[in-house]
Structure 1
């Protein structure tokens, strides 16, 4: 069970191919898990080319395959007729059976849910797992280091590789036109990343009007499988000069000829995303350029400014670890992540390690220990992301995960806006999920531990909202504000009696929100 940390374009795929070869050569089957359909297809091409001289069968399971093809591949997989199977989350479906699985390779590990990886391990108790991730940036680390024991770092860049020149600029038509023409003059290709599906076509049209001679393709996750494949293949076959895409290209897409990337509204991305996206270019020996575009009339927040500064500052090869360190500084965890990752960090998990470290420092300096407060809000509302709203399983898991990580009301508003942009207006269950998240954030301010409803058995009996609290001073303050409606009953709980007219869900939400407002 080994984690390979290697910077973008350092040859993690090459390691995967060799590990797969050794396993198949010894009569075992190999499963390769990739986060996106596009990357799975690319891996299938790479593996097939590298193993072409050997009698090994390589197949790909993804939404680009018809139901009939998938059925045929699954049957051969169960009989042992397929040696290497590459796929997205489709590989962890219940109907996927292996004859003798020996190795599981997980690419871009931070983008899978824990339950997916655990299911793969359960397929065979004796299965080896090789996990690959680019830069150990905090997000990646805290999702992936939990319980992982062995870590290897890939620190040597491929020969002739040049650092990527990174520039932060305001959106400027002339600059974009010149950069595109420069790339075309050396027969290269260009990525333009715009993460709003709503107006991505508009952006493509703007590029076309800026540089009429350029051929533009558009790719985003809401396209039908065959359309997306066609757009990507167009770019791979060099039938398009510019690929206008969402962050669907973030994961491991390898097109050596693409050497200029524009990232629009770059202040909206995290460091991990920016580093991954920048790593899509400069994968051959030409000098590559990354332009981080900012809206010409928008102020950049201080945190976003520091993120962009870090990306601009650390452009040398293998900058991943330095970016990880700067990311930790920006987020306030201190400069603690060196290239040595042995010792207890791997055993206790990264997030806990940071928490232990911070608490130790606070103790030494005579401050109170800080523990993150989690609030359980359990109110009887139907709240979830429906399948027909957030379609893909991975996107849904990612949406839930990101919602759980939101730590402020302004961040919640940003998240709500992003959902609307990507998937359209939120249906009722999704709206209720966002309302619950809002109450959770308000409850955190009052240092509450739980918010739930207590209803007596007789239907005529009154209903109470019960607040579990941690801080006596805060709950008294809240009780005073409620004009006698919130009653503190013991050392742990306070009861807020609902009136009959307040039992309707929307009214109840407004009442509880009014009680907890900051």
Structure 2
């Protein structure tokens, strides 16, 4: 019966086919150029990708309308699936979508029966880093590029209020995602998602995104702590990373900032500035960005 229905559709005995997800594979109808998917938030990413591929199989311009019920509050996973299928539309996007699906659902256990789980909570990049470090540790090898854990203590409000994201699990997952932000593009992706799902984020939510970004930048420079004081802020290096303080000093000199350096069982750079609150956080971010840019330029020059 299914085969007969498809053949009649191909032969233009009717021009509209109402069906289930059974068409997601093995169906090739070049003349089909419009697809409407209902309740797309209930489908997996692979399903959406396969079903979307039922149109656009000829030289004709094709359209795929991926819909869900108006006003429905989507889960975080559903929102990510729909955003992914929206973003990756060019030819050959299958591998990118597969990697995104792996990140969203989790990679499961290496030794066990679970097909998803741990990686879903920490994200793909962090999962791979933790896994690589643990394998190196078990082999007795030195862990390469192990990052310093950085603490930032500033006099600003930086948190996700329950009135903004009411669901505890969704709020926790957003905290985890924010904690991994390492680029301006990733910051903007998070802000865009927050706007789409919860409306414009308040200042305290924007602040925590910026704090996480600053922490990850500082971590790459070996900084263990950035702490506000009455006259500015302190940059702290643990003893084993203190040799890297020159990277910050170089940028501070270019910016003509006043600072002092003291050593204890750690190294402290005390930077003087009149900036406060969000303005201070923005200054620290720019400082850390320039430190990393300057470091990369020096490495590049060394090899030229």
Between Structure 1 and Structure 2, the one with more helix by share is: 2
1:471 CA displacement: 2.2
Q: Equivalents in 2 of 1:337, 1:358: separation in Å?
A: 16
Candidates 444, 450, 473, aligned match of 2:219: 444
SS state of the match for residue 271, structure 2? strand
Q: Equivalents in 1 of 2:94, 2:69: separation in Å?
A: 34
Q: 1:301 to 1:164 in 2, by over 3 A?
A: closer
Which has the larger displacement, 380-389 or 400-409?
A: 400-409
Q: Which residue of 1 aligns with 2:233?
A: 464
Q: Equivalents in 2 of 1:379, 1:399: separation in Å?
A: 21
For structure 1, the residue ranges without an aligned partner over 5 or more in a row are: 1-162, 181-189, 196-209, 222-245, 251-263, 270-291, 312-322, 329-335, 342-350, 456-461
Q: 1:375 to 1:399 in 2, by over 3 A?
A: same
1:492 CA displacement: 1.9
Correspondences of 1:342-357 after superposition (within 5 Å): 355-357=133-135
Q: Equivalents in 2 of 1:506, 1:249: separation in Å?
A: 31
Q: TM-score, normalised by structure 2?
A: 0.57
Q: Deviations over 1:150-196 (max 9, x none)?
A: xxxxxxxxxxxxx99569xxxx983524xx6xxxxxxxxx531299x
For structure 2, the residue ranges without an aligned partner over 5 or more in a row are: 1-21, 44-62, 115-126, 293-304
Q: TM-score, normalised by structure 1?
A: 0.36
SS state of the match for residue 495, structure 1? strand
SS state of the match for residue 389, structure 1? coil
Q: Deviations over 1:321-377 (max 9, x none)?
A: xx96xx48xxxxxxx814479xxxxxxxxx7776432323471xxx54553432111
- Which structure has more relative contact order (CA 8 Å, sep 6+)? It is 1
Matched, 1:193 2:41: yes
Q: Which residue of 2 aligns with 1:202?
A: none
Contact 2:164 2:198 in 1 (8 A): yes
Q: 1:303 to 1:489 in 2, by over 3 A?
A: farther
RMSD (Å) for aligned C-alpha atoms:
4.4
SS state of the match for residue 385, structure 1? coil
Q: Equivalents in 1 of 2:77, 2:131: separation in Å?
A: 32
Q: 1:383 to 1:355 in 2, by over 3 A?
A: same
Q: Equivalents in 2 of 1:164, 1:401: separation in Å?
A: 37
Correspondences of 1:314-393 after superposition (within 5 Å): 327=107, 337-339=110-112, 355-361=133-139, 363=141, 367-393=142-168
Q: Which residue of 2 aligns with 1:505?
A: 277
Q: 1:338 to 1:266 in 2, by over 3 A?
A: same
Candidates 166, 169, 177, aligned match of 1:394: 169
Q: 1:216 to 1:382 in 2, by over 3 A?
A: closer
Q: Equivalents in 1 of 2:102, 2:68: separation in Å?
A: 31
Matched, 1:475 2:250: no
Candidates 261, 276, 279, aligned match of 1:488: 261
Q: Number of residue pairs matched?
A: 225
1:481 CA displacement: 1.9
Q: Equivalents in 1 of 2:192, 2:23: separation in Å?
A: 32
Q: Deviations over 1:231-272 (max 9, x none)?
A: xxxxxxxxxxxxxxx34796xxxxxxxxxxxxx985855xxx
Correspondences of 1:25-174 after superposition (within 5 Å): 174=33
Contact 1:485 1:497 in 2 (8 A): yes
Q: Equivalents in 2 of 1:249, 1:515: separation in Å?
A: 35
Between Structure 1 and Structure 2, the one with more strand by share is: 1
SS state of the match for residue 164, structure 2? coil
Q: Equivalents in 2 of 1:474, 1:303: separation in Å?
A: 39
Q: 1:173 to 1:438 in 2, by over 3 A?
A: farther
